Amino acid sequence: MAGDNERHTLIHEELPKEHDDPLIRVLHGIIRNSVRLLAVLMALVIVWGVADVVLVLYERLMAPPVFLLDYSDLFDVFGAFMLVLIAIEIFINIRLYLGSYVIPIQLVIATALMAIARKVIVMDLADIAPLYILAIAAVVLALGVTYWLVAKKDHY
């Protein structure tokens, strides 16, 4: 098993520290440090997003009638929660990329599924055209099948 993981990492190492061309080595270093900066920024976005969830929930609960959430309030709160969860998934993608220089395809697809699920959860069907709903359904189906195929491939 360890040999498979090592082989898998070596095949996908896009930004090696060693390279024949000094310019490419410098550019790889710049990209690796840019990804680190993205990780720091995403962590800040997550903290900011959690603060936003708290604020949205507080505002909705304090609006009359106090401590009651109506239908639209719940969708606003669920949407805020889902945004933070999507940000966490993106951070995990960045962290995995930093740790192995491998793009975690299954996790990227799962993140896309979560993002489209958020869209479906907060969608107001009264304001949406039928063609838009079909397009969202096609995206969900395509991502679901892709996720299943990637998971099936990794299983064998």
Contacts of 24 (CB under 8 A, 6+ apart): none
| Two tokens, residue 11 | 């095949």
pLDDT band at 6 (very low <50, low <70, confident <90, very high): very low
More confident residue, 6 or 81: 81
Is 15 within 8 Å of 24 (Cβ atoms)? no
Rounded to the nearest 10 degrees, the angle between the axes of helix 130-155 and helix 105-122 is 150
Task: Quote the CA–CA distance of 130 and 63 in Å, as a whole number.
Answer: 34
Confidence class for position 156, pLDDT limits 50, 70, 90: low
